[in-house]
């Protein structure tokens, strides 16, 4: 922002100086040589441009002296204009080079981030949600220009290994592929899984038939937007209040309440206790709506006698600050 303001200010100054010297010359010839406006403007332009065309009419001594001064002033103004223009171009190129080097250095140090392949309508929503939760993001887009919105971006083909490596896929936590075609998403999933076997991968499938192929290729989750959109619309008709409540706790605009998954560590003081014994609800003011066991099964709406074990994941609803405190307690007490 500061650099842009500085450039605009210098360009504005150059325009003011050029316009000022032309106006000075025009007014001077009108007063000194009694010329018409067009004649005075013509004399000023050919004088400043030093093209050597014949004067409109012979100049008086005062006109000659004024012309000499106009040439000297004009030379200074145009020299400044050319120098400023060249300086802005060089500074802009150097700035781009330094920014690119800095961006690459920061990308190399990035760890535990998310990669979004495709920055269309779905990609923008995903990036917005991840950013709202304070996650580091790297966006890969094939073409066009992405304005910096608080995350890294790479212009390139996400189906190529070198582009995924530039995005730090070996150090990433997760990847979302929402490219326009199922074939491209399938290729990205195959490449990503080969480069990082532990990566959590979500892929978009336009056709229901592509879901199974993407799963086989290595996607942990596959989302069919048309299928989900159809179900959501049906639920809005059948259960509008339920849909309103779900949107309330999942949309980033409502940051006063959130739903979170919290891992129970070996050192947690709650490990090996029942929900009644932990008094989580009373202490933290959150609601435990489910427990995902280490083996994979989910216990929905657990009872007060449900046992919390190390490695379990608690699905909790509550204010973000309360969930954060509970997460710390579940990690190490």
The reported pTM is 0.56
Q: What is the mean pLDDT of the chain?
A: 84
Q: Pick the more confident residue, 171 or 109.
A: 171
Query: Which domains are present in the chain?
Result: 2-107 (1.10.287.70), 114-223 (3.40.50.720), 256-331 (3.30.70.1450)
Per-residue pLDDT at 179 = 93
Interval 136-148: pLDDT, tens: 999 999 876 555 5
Q: What is the mean pLDDT of residues 213-223?
A: 93
Which of 145-154, 194-203, 294-303 shows the lowest per-residue confidence on average (mean pLDDT)? 145-154
Residues 190-201, mean pLDDT to the nearest whole number: 95
- Between the alpha carbon of residue 219 and those of residues 209, 213, 214, the distances in Å are 14, 9, 6
What is the strand order of the sheet 287-292 is part of?
258-263, 313-318, 287-292, 298-300
pLDDT band at 1 (very low <50, low <70, confident <90, very high): very low
**What pLDDT band is residue 197 in, cutting at 50, 70 and 90?**
very high
Instruction: Please compute the mean of the pLDDT values over residues 67-71 and round it to a whole number.
Output: 87
Rounded distance between C-alpha atoms, residue 246 and residue 189, angstroms: 30
């Amino acid at each position: 922002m500061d650099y842009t303001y500085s450039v605009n200010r210098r360009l504005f100054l150059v325009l003011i100086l050029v316009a000022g010297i032309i106006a000075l010359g025009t007014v001077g010839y009108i007063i000194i040589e009694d010329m018409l406006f067009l004649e005075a403007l013509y004399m000023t332009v050919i004088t400043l441009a030093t093209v050597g065309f014949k004067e409109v009419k012979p100049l008086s001594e005062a006109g000659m002296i004024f012309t000499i001064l106009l040439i000297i002033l004009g030379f200074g103004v145009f020299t400044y204009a050319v120098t400023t223009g060249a300086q802005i171009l060089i500074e802009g190129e150097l700035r781009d080079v330094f920014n690119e080097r800095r961006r690459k250095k920061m990308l190399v140090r990035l760890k535990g981030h998310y990669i979004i392949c495709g920055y269309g309508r779905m990609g923008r929503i995903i990036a917005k949600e991840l950013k709202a939760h304070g996650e580091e993001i790297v966006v890969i887009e094939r073409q066009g220009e992405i304005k910096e919105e608080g995350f890294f971006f790479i212009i390139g083909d996400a189906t190529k290994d070198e582009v995924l490596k530039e995005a730090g896929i070996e150090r990433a936590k997760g990847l979302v592929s929402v490219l326009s075609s199922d074939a491209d998403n399938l290729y990205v999933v195959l490449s990503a899984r080969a480069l990082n076997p532990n990566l959590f991968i979500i892929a978009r499938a336009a056709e229901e038939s592509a879901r199974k192929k993407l799963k086989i290729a290595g996607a942990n989750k596959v989302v069919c937007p048309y299928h989900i959109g159809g179900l959501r619309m049906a639920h809005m008709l059948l259960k509008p209040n339920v849909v309103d409540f779900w949107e309330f706790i999942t949309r980033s605009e409502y940051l006063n309440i959130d739903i979170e998954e919290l891992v129970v560590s070996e050192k947690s003081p709650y490990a090996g206790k029942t929900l009644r014994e932990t008094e989580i609800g009373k202490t933290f003011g959150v609601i435990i709506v489910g427990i995902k066991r280490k083996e994979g099964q989910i216990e929905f709406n657990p009872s007060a006698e449900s046992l919390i074990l190390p490695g379990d994941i608690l699905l909790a609803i509550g204010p973000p600050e309360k969930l954060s405190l509970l997460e710390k307690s579940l990690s190490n007490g």
